[in-house]
């Protein structure tokens, strides 16, 4: 089996995507084909045996074959013709904008390229933290209280400190701040608004229990272990950059059967049917034995491989259960009937 790893993109999380893509070499046993999207949104076929972080920061990737996207796949020039890049399916491992906001999903679906990753609707819902909360509430899944603040709105708002401020449409802890008093509010908002025009404000609950569960649905649900991240108040960008390169399985959280079932049932409600064809990671909070959703990660760092005993088999199995587009039959019966009535 041959897998096309699609990564990069025009995003604040571009570098994170490169780290995740490189990690796939260690955890996937299939043949890998690397398709890189640079900041200019040009695609390149990067040799698998030459992929390393410096290749991208130095710009050496521009010496690789440049790709054109057409119906059925990616193509590069070959002598007097074009040659298609051969792979059985693609794995979208582009974090942030392009990869998680729906652009890549639209592109791949439009050109009939089979892929593992969130489809358009799933991308739109999970990329926006506000939409995620509204979506979760529809299924009876609890979320922390929140406020939304737009960039041009008044900052004279009543808040109970400490709080946590997050750009609404961003991940990897970029632009996030913990604010412990009103004196710190202005600076934290300025930081967040550098990355987004809207921020989400939540209460910061000290020592809250957080648990991560990854999974997908094939003929049945395939769950990872549940991890309790060992971290400080929250992981900043630098810590997450290192975290995204993980390839060794982590330890399982010690939880009661009741809490495990609550977390898994919440995952199922969020997954089906919007995230079919994706391997996602959901980050939950547990407060007083109640489960709250924090975030849905539709393209998790390093695809959350470190939560599975056999990540390779999960990916290969999921590739057999990808959503199929509705077949549209080519016909023009209405136009033909009108023309027939006109005698044409």
CATH class as words, domain 2-116: alpha beta
- Token pair of 331, please? 């016909």
The helix (run of H) or strand (run of E) holding residue 17 is: helix 14-27
Q: For the whole model, what pTM was predicted?
A: 0.89
CA distances for 40 relative to 5, 43, 98, 167, 202, angstroms: 18, 9, 12, 24, 35
Query: Which tokens is 40 given?
Result: 């200019």
SS3 282: strand
What single-letter DSSP state applies at residue 307? G
CATH number of 124-143+206-321: 3.30.470.20
Domain boundaries, the chain: 2-116, 124-143+206-321, 147-203
CATH of domain 147-203: 3.30.1490.20
Coil, strand or helix at 293: strand
Task: Going residue by residue through the chain, which has 344 residues, state the pLDDT in tens, using 9 for 90 and above.
Answer: 999 999 999 998 999 999 999 999 999 999 999 999 999 999 999 999 999 999 999 999 999 999 999 999 999 998 778 999 999 999 999 999 999 999 999 999 999 999 999 999 999 999 999 999 999 999 999 999 999 999 988 888 888 999 999 999 876 678 899 999 999 999 999 999 998 999 999 999 888 899 999 999 999 999 999 999 876 555 454 555 455 556 667 789 999 999 999 999 999 999 999 999 999 999 999 998 999 999 999 999 999 999 999 999 999 999 999 998 888 888 888 887 877 777 66
Task: Give the Cβ contact number of residue 241 at 10 Å.
Answer: 17
Helices 120-127 and 103-110, packing angle to 10 deg: 180
Cα–Cα distance measured from residue 316 to residue 28, given in angstroms and rounded to the nearest whole number: 9
């Amino acid at each position: 089996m041959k897998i096309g790893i699609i990564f990069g993109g025009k995003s604040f999380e571009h570098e994170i995507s490169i780290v995740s893509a490189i990690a796939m070499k260690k955890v996937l046993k299939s043949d890998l084909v690397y398709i890189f999207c640079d900041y200019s949104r040009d695609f390149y076929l990067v040799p698998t045996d030459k992929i390393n972080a410096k290749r991208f920061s130095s710009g050496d990737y521009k010496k690789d074959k440049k790709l054109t996207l057409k119906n059925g796949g990616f193509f590069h020039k070959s002598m007097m013709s074009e040659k298609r890049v051969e792979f059985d399916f693609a794995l979208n491992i582009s974090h942030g904008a392009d990869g998680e906001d729906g652009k890549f999903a639209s592109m791949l679906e439009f050109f009939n390229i089979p892929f593992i990753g969130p489809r358009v609707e799933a991308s739109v819902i999970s990329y926006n933290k506000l939409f995620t909360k509204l979506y979760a509430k529809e299924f009876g899944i609890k979320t922390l209280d929140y406020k939304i603040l737009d960039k041009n709105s008044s900052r004279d708002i009543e808040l109970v400190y400490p709080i946590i401020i997050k750009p609404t449409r961003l991940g990897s802890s970029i632009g996030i701040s913990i604010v412990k008093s009103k004196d710190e509010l202005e600076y934290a908002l300025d930081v967040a608004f550098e990355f987004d025009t809207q921020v989400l404000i939540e209460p910061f609950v000290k020592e809250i229990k957080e648990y991560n569960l990854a999974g997908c649905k094939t003929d049945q649900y395939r769950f990872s272990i549940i991890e309790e991240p060992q971290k400080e108040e929250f992981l900043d960008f630098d810590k997450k950059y290192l975290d995204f390169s993980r390839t060794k399985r982590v330890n399982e959280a010690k939880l009661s059967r009741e809490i495990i079932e609550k977390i898994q049932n919440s995952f199922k409600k969020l997954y089906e049917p919007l995230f079919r064809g994706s391997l996602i990671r959901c980050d939950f909070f547990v407060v007083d034995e109640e489960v709250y959703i924090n975030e849905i990660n539709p393209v998790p760092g390093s695809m959350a491989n470190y939560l599975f005993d056999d990540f390779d088999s999960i990916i290969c199995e999921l590739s057999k259960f990808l959503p199929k587009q509705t077949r549209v039959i080519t016909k023009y019966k209405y136009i033909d009937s009108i023309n027939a009535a006109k005698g044409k």
